[in-house]
Chain A
Amino acid sequence: MAFRWRNTLKDSDVTEESVFLNRRQIMAGVAGLGLVGSAARAEALEPNSLEDISGYCNYYEFGTGKEDPAKYAGRLTTKPWSVKIDGMVDNAGDYALEDILAKVSIEERIYRFRCVEAWSMVVPWNGFELADLLALAGVQSGAKYVAFETALRPDEMPGVKYPVLDWPYVEGLRLDEAMHPLTIMAAGIYGKELPNQNGAPLRLVVPWKYGFKSIKSIVRITLTDKEPATSWNKANAREYGFYSNVNPEVDHPRWSQATERKLGGGLFAGREPTLMMNGYGEDVASLYEGMDLKANF
């Protein structure tokens, strides 16, 4: 691997859940009184509470309401779980999740998470680099893209009765994006197994892209030489591009992407400026050199 991403935040930087909740309420109160400027709030990269992370989700297979996934995702059977890896790989086949997890090293990644709907949070993921999994599969030289697919289980997923999207949910990355050390497969949050509503048992996390790119409950990964179709792009190509990099200068046609609201700040949280590439601009700049990010949104 060219280089491994280094986390500048350590375990000791993670606020304990209980302390965090208290502090968060105090800070929200103080910010509400206007005593803390937005700059001061933006500097501290504090993970959201597990309660917030697991209680406010978009996972349309379980319903379009933000609380629906927490209500219904418990029905999803996550054990046993396997991921089919196929397409342009040397070792195509079904990979049992426990076999994958035995061969990779799990580390904590505290990442910003920016939803295309202009809210955000900070999540302490536990996962491994996607590049490590792709190395197990043996990517062939002609492969240029990676396609992902979410489980489709009508018996367990009440939301797929409705044609909100063309099920199953599919996503894709360019191979160099997939191989980037920031791109991880997450299996946990806060050192615990992923809650089902957050994409258990295995999901993608691409922190510089809008959240919907970070596909959940993955059952299939396909290496291909063609740009794969992606769910939101199929649903509305004008609004959701293949890249969907976080970019405060490229608005969603229906709302501005210049600002965001971090979850958990209460009624008076206000908005913070959105950072280019969600704050990972320096890390990923080389991927998009010479590309028009407005045309390739």
Chain B
Amino acid sequence: MEFVQQLINGISLGSIYALIALGYTMVYGIVKLINFAHGDVFMVGAFIGFYSISVFHLNFFLALLISMVACAIFGVVIERIAYKPLRNATRIAALITAIGVSLLIEYGTIYIRGAQIEAYPGNVIPDVTIKFFGVEVSSQSLFILGVSVLLMVCLQFIVHKTKIGKAMRAVSHDMDAARLMGINVDNTISATFAIGSALAGAAGVIFGMYYTSIDPLMGIIPGLKAFVAAVLGGIGIIPGAMVGGLVLGVIEALVSALGYSLWRDGVAFIVLILILIFRPSGLFGKNVREKV
């Protein structure tokens, strides 16, 4: 039964990875940029959630909502200031800029509020242990899973049923053609950053609640792992990011369960390198050849 519990832990963690991975994958799908700063948007989201709850005494859902809106705006600001001027630059230049933005957010946050760790208020949602069929599951795990699934359903709805979703798919398929069809490409890209960042913000609040401690550098590792999840699922593919996140979460939980918890962070990168070597297009991706 221990195994099932670890599995559920893994799924909860994985759903957080999945939420962050969605932003990576959507942005990569549309502008071919690995948005290194995405993990830091996640961090900012966690802090906004923290201040909303502990300073303004808002309830969890309001805090989640505020964090999502604020991160969406933050994401768009980053895109407009740092990335938009680089759309025609080399990918390497864009990647270096993203690294720069990431460092700026991390150390800017430290500069503003210090590097100290903050403890998330623990009583935001009830934490009771539910037992069924002999398996003990914490209500928080289920709650995380529930919120994540709900957000992913919303995302699917936006991408497939709304006008902006259609525009996003069109732009990621062929930016020039989309522009010729009268789609406002700049706004569509901004919308993609907004949605991705909002999901990262939500993931930040959920993460803070679940792991209770947050700090300005907390975004680095989950951010990288979420990127691994996105690559695992096939970068640019939305369901791929969801599955990739869950798979990665479960793998990590299993590694911990086997008693190798110190190696847990390494496993994600081993998965990354293996997938890049043997199936660079990811679990759901198609191989694309360079045209000669």
B is a partner of A: no
Residues of A within 8 A of B (CB): none
